[in-house]
Amino acid sequence: MSDNSDIEEEEQGPNLGEYEGERNDKDERHGYGKATLPNGDTYEGMYENGKRHGQGTYRFKNGARYIGEYMKNKKHGYGTFIYPDGSKYEGNWVEDQRCGQGKYFYINADTYEGEWRDHKRHGQGVYTYAETGTKYTGTWKEGKREGAGDLIHANHKYVGQWKEDRPEGKGKYVFDIGCEQHGEYIPVEQVKDDKGGEEEEQQAVIIPKWKAGVVTAITLAPEPDEEEEEEKKEEGEKPAETTEATEGAVEGGEEQAPAAETTEAGGEAAADAPESSEQAPATEEEPAAEGGEATDGAAEEQAEDAAPAEEEAAAD
């Protein structure tokens, strides 16, 4: 899926298209003006020495539009880009690229808020999957999850390391009921089943497999009344202990813990991402669903997360 990264604005000469507005001594567009370009795009805003410079609004003939700051004909500074499919980006730009802090709104209601570089999610950021409420918060590198990150679900979360948009290495599942399961994700190479394709054309894919480790005991917090009662007991008297009945259950079912646990962001959210918009990262499958193996949805970020398409050309 493309993220409209290739939508390009038409370059301007001093007499390109129709123009109404201020000019300088060299007859260049300078100051406030309105222009209708030969390809049907329009621009209204500030110019400097014949180039878009300052605050302006550029409308593409396909319905896309940019409202924000320009510097020497390029989007630079803070601006909002609304794509033909209705998705939009609000944030900082550097030389026509999403760069710095910004928020992307996808047409499936997913959002990403955080750092960008060269049109891609890069640095610290939070991706929220609207359908499930799952969130990934952590480090990104060139559009993919990389480094430390947390995948947060309704009643549990996965905390660990990521590589190439999938969990890899040591980590743990933390459950709201008070227990943790430690372990690690091991990359396993599998041949992608390509029906109808010849054997030599089949491609190997990396699937993260969860290797369960220690499950910590559940610690039940004492009721307020119990705390007061214990404080009143005389020294040397054995205090009533909190029964950890659930501890045995957890230890007995430690191989099942991941099962009830996580879907990395929700399966194949990326598959639902708009074709023309910035792509959503794939979601992680529940370990239990695959007999303890958790897979990162093959669908990579929608258009561009696998390699987010550049923002502007797609519009044309």
Is there a common fold for 13-101 and 108-190+205-215? yes
Least confident of 81-85, 164-168, 229-233: 229-233
CA distance 275 to 130: 18
Q: Give the mean pLDDT of 68-92.
A: 97
Residue 306 and residue 312: Cα distance in Å, rounded?
Answer: 17
Per-residue CA distances from 303 to 124, 128, 176, 209 (Å):
20, 17, 34, 26
pLDDT beyond 50 at 51? yes
The fold of the 108-190+205-215 domain, in CATH, is 2.20.110
- Identify the pLDDT of residue 229: 65
Detail the DSSP E strand segments found in 142-262.
144-152, 156-163, 166-175, 180-191, 204-215
**pLDDT score of 56 more than 70:** yes
Per-residue pLDDT at 174: 94
Q: How far apart, in whole angstroms, are the C-alpha atoms of residue 200 and residue 182?
A: 39
Tens digits of residue pLDDT in 256-266:
333 333 333 33
> What pLDDT does residue 286 have?
41
Selected from 3.60.10.10, 2.20.110.10, 3.40.50.1000, 3.40.50.2300, the CATH number assigned to the domain covering 13-101 reads: 2.20.110.10
What are residue 141's phi and psi, to 5 degrees?
A: -140, 115
**The pLDDT of residue 220:** 53
Q: What does the alpha-carbon distance between residue 290 and residue 197 come to, in Å, rounded to a whole number?
A: 25
Q: Which residues contact 185 (CB under 8 A, 6 or more apart)?
A: 160, 166, 167, 168, 169, 171, 208, 209, 210, 211, 294
Where do the structural domains in the chain lie, given as residue ranges? 13-101, 108-190+205-215
Residue 288: which pLDDT band, with cuts at 50, 70 and 90?
very low
Backbone angles phi, psi at 308, to 5 degrees: -50, 125
Q: Say if CB 20 and CB 47 are below 8 A apart.
A: no
Residue 273 reports pLDDT greater than 80 = no
Two tokens, residue 281: 């990262």
Average pLDDT, the chain: 76
pLDDT of residue 57: 98
- Asked whether residue 289 carries a pLDDT value surpassing 70, the answer given is no
Residue 305 predicted with pLDDT over 50: no
What was the pLDDT predicted at 297? 34
Residue 77 has pLDDT above 80, yes or no: yes
Which of 287, 293, 298 shows the shortest CA–CA distance to 193?
A: 298
Q: Residues of 254-290 as b/e, b for ≥16 C-beta within 10 angstroms?
A: beebbbebbbbbbbbbbbbbbebbbbbbbbbbbbbbe
Residue 204 is predicted with a pLDDT of 83
pLDDT digits (tens, 9 = 90+) for 202-236: 788 899 999 999 998 655 556 666 666 666 665 55
Cα separation, 87 vs 287, in Å, equals 32
Q: What percent of the chain has pLDDT over 70?
A: 62
Range 58-72 average pLDDT: 97
What does the pLDDT read at residue 191? 82
Give the pLDDT confidence score for residue 259 in this predicted structure: 31
